[in-house]
Amino acid sequence: MINKKDILKNICYTELVYERINKKLNTKFSKKQIEEFIFKTLKETEEKFFKKIGKNFYVTNTENNIRITINSNTFRIITVDRIE
pLDDT (tens place) for every residue of the chain, 84 residues total: 789 999 999 999 999 999 999 999 999 999 999 999 999 999 999 999 999 999 999 999 999 999 999 999 999 999 999 998
The boundaries of the domain holding residue 12 are 4-82
Q: At what angle do helices 15-25 and 31-44 cross, to 10 degrees?
A: 70
How many distinct structural domains can be found in the chain? Answer: 1
Contact (Cβ atoms closer than 8 angstroms) between residue 22 and residue 81: no
